[in-house]
Amino acid sequence: MQHVILVILHKSLKSLQLVLNEFFSKLCNALDTVSASAFTQARSKLAYTAFIELNEQGIVESLYTDNDYKTYLGHRLLAIDGSKIIVPDTPELRAEFGTVRVVNQNPQTIGYYCGAMISVCYDVLNRICLDGQIAPLKSYEVTVALKHLPGLQPNDVLLTDRGYASYFWWATLIAKRQLFVCRCPQQSFAAVKAMFTGTIASQIVTLHVPEKNVRLIRKAGLPESITLRLVRVVLDNGTIEVLATTLLDEQKYPAASFKPLYHLRWGVETYYDIVKTRLVLENFTGKTVESVKQDFFATLFITGLESILTDTAQAQLDERTATNRHPQSVNRAVSFNAIKNNLLDLFYKEPDIDVLLDKLTRLFLTKPISAQDHNKPRKRSSDGKLLRYYKYTKKISF
């Protein structure tokens, strides 16, 4: 079963048989291999939860056990966000995750595609995924996000976008004494609207459950009124954002600190970019529910492994900041490729671990990239530009 796990972690755009041939060639320096059919039968005996345990024990526990990790005023900063992915179109996967109707400009159906919703709870300062969820495509993001909460600590601060801004979500977190910062849409509560149009930087308000949600809130046993703080943030381009938070102490958390604090949520956006484009999550290696879940949770584990292994290299790049015009970071194309090429040494063979880690660090330091400014407003690329990017520019590293 160890071989099966390593092959799944050996993500590639190549055909499964080519991956197997290359893997066993590296493993035993021989021409012996196994067929794709034999591998498929073997992986059917492996529960996808094995990769969840790998992430929990090998990544999450190893990072937080010795308390040597980055925090914000003593808090772990955890961003929760959801996204949609396309999965292989098979009857089994359609039944599990559902489909979306594809239409053209005329109101007629021209087809369907099979997809799923994924959600992650991501430590934006330490760059590891604490928990991942995969659910039916039409699931409500907040309902899926609730599954992340059992493993959190009371002192964690959750960062969420305006898609989560609801009385139900806020009341649930407050009932669990879970700290949060959540961006608000303008058309929500009257107190939020007033913050958008007024000049007050921060105020503590009491919100009452909307009439339409009373039955839901009572059924869930949640409070029918909640107290939180609204903070008005003005971005560099003049855009106004209003944040709802349970960080009520205005001395410890002044209004001016929320702009850079909430900006850190961007880390989960770049995380999805790595998962979807750099690691090509949607290039699944199987067409069953179990294989899709195996690939999903294996990908989350790989990202955490990369974050931990590149920590030393990133620290060295940080020391060079004074001599460089822009801060530099490890090139993810380089780091993921180096990890892929050394998976057998990391998990199967028994090399000198210090020599191996030094070798990897030297590889991680090659061709670093300059940090980009994400304070600028995002521009939506045209379909033509996106097509050219995926056809001619995008480079696969794993």
Question: Is the whole model's pTM more than 0.85, yes or no?
Answer: yes
Contact 274, 398 (CB under 8 A): no
Q: How far apart are CA 131 and CA 145, in angstroms?
A: 10
Burial of 72 (0-12, 13-18, 19+ CB in 10 A): middle
How confident is the model at residue 395, as a pLDDT? 59
pLDDT single digits (tens) 189-207: 999 999 999 899 999 999 9
Q: How far apart are CA 263 and CA 242, in angstroms?
A: 13
Contact 78, 152 (CB under 8 A): yes
How confident is the model at residue 54, as a pLDDT? 94
Higher pLDDT, 385 or 4: 4
The token duo for 177 is: 């004494």
The token duo for 354 is: 């210090």
Contact 223, 171 (CB under 8 A): yes
How confident is the model at residue 112, as a pLDDT? 85
How far is the CA of 352 from the CAs of 159, 325, 346, 357, in angstroms?
40, 37, 10, 9
Relative to beta strand 109-123, strand 99-103 is antiparallel
Q: How far apart are the first and last CA of the chain?
A: 22
How far is the CA of 192 from the CAs of 149, 161, 240, 337, in angstroms?
26, 15, 12, 46
Q: Which of 122, 149, 119, 150 is nearest to 137 (CA)?
A: 119
How confident is the model at residue 10, as a pLDDT? 84
